[in-house]
Structures are given as structure tokens and as C-alpha cells.
Amino acid sequence: MQVLALRPEPGLAATIARARAGGLEIAGCALSAIESVTWDCPDPAGFDGLLIGSANAILHGGPNLARLMDKPVFAVGEATAAAARAAGFKIAMTGSGGLQGVLDAITGPRHLLRIAGEERIVLYPPGGVTFAEVVAYRSIARPLDPAAALLAGGDALVLLHSAATAAHFAEECERLGLPRGAIALAALGPRIAAAAGAGWAAVHTAAQPDEASLMQLVFDLCGKPRSIPAKPPGAA
């Protein structure tokens, strides 16, 4: 089976390293690139912490982050927490089941600043918790042409990390005339799987919306032993 990851860098390199460390052959094609968006920083004094749903918010947040360094970070997962920690932030909470789960676990009264991308899920805060939002980065779509030959051969398993990538991947397969019926999908969550549409050989969803669960799913589908490194080689 041909395994292909499509996420943007630097996540793509981390996924490939993690897979190969566990003995899985995998190819990569960054189907998008992340770029910073200019944003205005609200008065930091009005916030009790930062709600961060992706390491991209830290990696592409720009100079405004310096004004928020004293704010504790509520991070969606360990990769996001690691990026925030490396940038000098203190971590208040690290989730494992999506950003809504992190938000649900926060006790009020608390007012947070969510630093997000243009593509983001709607969140519903619990009682006593409120948040404002700023958009700090966006995803720019790229063509699938570099991976077309691999996918045209059939018996492929494609990893999907975001709904935007899933929808763009489906469009690119249509443009290039690639057979959906010969391509299986492994998605980080149900919303991402749904964004790819129908007609695929199979659609699988990770047990939890995190990288470790997605990679475990891929290893299982490829018949590999259940021994995935907790972190990519070289990670802190």
C-alpha cells in the first residue's frame, strides 16, 4: 500500500519522521502552505489566557505574540503545547480530544484570546468562560501534481489533517482524473473525513483527533506492529 501525507510543513516532516521511525514507508506532498496574516492585538490586560488550536498560531503568530508572553496557554494538544513552550509561553492545559474539549475543561470566570487560522471550528464556551478571536494565519492551497503518479497506481492510503486539505484533495483528484475508488482515506476526525466527500475506497477516522491516534490508525491499516514513537525523532 502506498501511504501519502498531505499536511503543510513543518508538520509534514514530523509526520514522515514519525512514520519512518516505526518502520512505515510513507511519501509526502504539502498540499498547502501556511502564511501569516496581519492582525491587531487587543489589550493584553483584558485576557486571562490564550486558547491555541494549532502550533501554526505560535509559528506564524508574528510580533504580537511578544505582547502576550505572560498569558498562560490552553493548547489543543502536545504538539501545540511544545511549540508554545519553545516560544517561551507557560502551558496551563494540554488537551487530547480537540479544542472544544479543552474549552469545556476550563473553569470560569475567565476571558481568553483565541489565536486561530482562517479555517477554524466554531467553539461553544462553558458558563463563566468567554473568548475573543483573532486570525493570525491562513492556508494556501497547492497543486497535487507531484503526487499524481503515486496515486494513479491505486492501492493508496492518504492522511488528512484538516477539512480544507480534504476538500482541496478531492477537487485535485477530480482535476487530475485520479480514481477515488482506488484511494482510501485516514482522517484526523469526522468533520475532516466528511469534507472529502464520497466515492473513496474506504474512509477511516482516528479514534481521537490527535496525531498519535491518526498514526496508530495508519499503522493498523498497514498491518504494522503497534509501536509508534510517542514523538518524532529529535523532538524535545
Residue 96 lies in a domain: yes
**Whether 34 contacts 8, CB under 8 Å:** yes
CATH number at 49 reads 3.40.50.10090
Boundary-marking domain end, from 109, 140, 171: 140
Residue 227 lies in a domain: no
Residue 236 lies in a domain: no
Nearest of 162, 216, 159 to residue 191 by alpha carbon: 162
Q: Give the percent of the chain with pLDDT over 90.
A: 86
| Residue 165 belongs to domain spanning | 2-31+144-221
Residue 64 lies in a domain: yes
CB neighbours of residue 37 within 10 Å: 15
**Whether 75 contacts 81, CB under 8 Å:** yes
Residue 116 above 90 pLDDT? yes
Residue 235 lies in a domain: no
Q: Is the whole model's pTM more than 0.85, yes or no?
A: no
Nearest of 160, 173, 163 to residue 3 by alpha carbon: 160
Do both 53 and 77 map to the same domain?
yes
Residue 234's pLDDT is 46
More confident residue, 176 or 154: 176
**H or E stretch including 20?**
helix 11-21
Q: Model confidence over 61-92: pLDDT tens digits?
A: 999 999 999 999 999 999 899 999 999 999 99
Boundary-marking domain end, from 89, 122, 140: 140
